[in-house]
Amino acid sequence: MAVPQWQGYAMNVLLIGPPGSGKGTQGDRLAERLNVAHIAAGDLLRDEVENGTPLGERVGELMRKGDLVPDAVIISLLMPRVLAAADRNGYLLDGFPRSVEQAVEARKLAEMASAGPDAVIYLDVPREELSRRILARADVEGRSDDNPETVRNRLKVFDEATHPLVEYYRERGLLHVVNADQDEDAVTAEIMSALESVG
């Protein structure tokens, strides 16, 4: 099998997109293809809530309402994992950063360790399709934040806090916009082809 050009050095990728854009699914696939650690912010937070840890107690209600958890909480949970992964094969980080403030803070911490992102993938999906996907997923996964009221808030939080990251990363020459309104295989193929030009 041909060796992809990124093998042999650590590749660090951020996956950003609105709720329902397929971050989790694409994150799993990409981490495997790129042979890097998949770090999913939402999954790590849900584990804390399920295990009833002090951190979980602090964030459970915010997550149920679809609000962001405090920056200091998510940064202290993720950054040790991000730095450790960057030191090995690299990372595929989904769901973080979720605001320009988080990106700036993470950059300060990552820069010292040369652990910043090499590429940022933005999963672009029309609004009607997002709502349809999330409500379909609600029946299967049973997430407590996949109900119509919370979904509305999560989309609003995305527009206000997270979407400005698109410009932030475009200005830094790291952004790749991918059409995520296609079947899963086509989305993965488009991302992989965008990443071929990186590095």
Minimum CB–partner distance for residue 69 and ligand AMP (Å): 4
Asked if 31 is part of the footprint of ligand AMP (rule: CB under 6 A), the reply reads no
Q: Of residues 95, 187, 188, 191, which one binds ligand AMP by CB under 6 A?
A: 95
Question: With respect to ligand AMP, which residue has the nearer C-beta, 91 or 96?
Answer: 96
Q: What are the Cα distances from residue 132, in Å, to 17, 135, 181?
A: 16, 5, 12
What are the start-end ranges of the H helices in 14-147? 23-34, 41-50, 54-65, 71-87, 100-111, 127-141
Residues whose CB falls within 8 Å of the CB of residue 46, separated by 6 or more in sequence, listed in order = 63
Using CB under 6 A as the binding rule, the residues of this chain from 139 to 198 that contact ligand AMP are 145, 154
CA atoms of 100 and 161, how far apart (whole Å): 7
CA atoms of 90 and 87, how far apart (whole Å): 7
Asked if 41 is part of the footprint of ligand AMP (rule: CB under 6 A), the reply reads yes
Asked if 27 is part of the footprint of ligand AMP (rule: CB under 6 A), the reply reads no
Using CB under 6 A as the binding rule, the residues of this chain from 106 to 135 that contact ligand AMP are none
- The position carrying tokens 């915010």 is 62
Stretch that binds ligand AMP, among 10-18, 26-34, 91-99, 168-176 (CB under 6 A): 91-99
Which among 133, 39, 148 is positioned nearest to 92, based on CA atoms?
39
Minimum CB–partner distance for residue 62 and ligand AMP (Å): 6
Minimum CB–partner distance for residue 7 and ligand AMP (Å): 28
Minimum CB–partner distance for residue 147 and ligand AMP (Å): 12
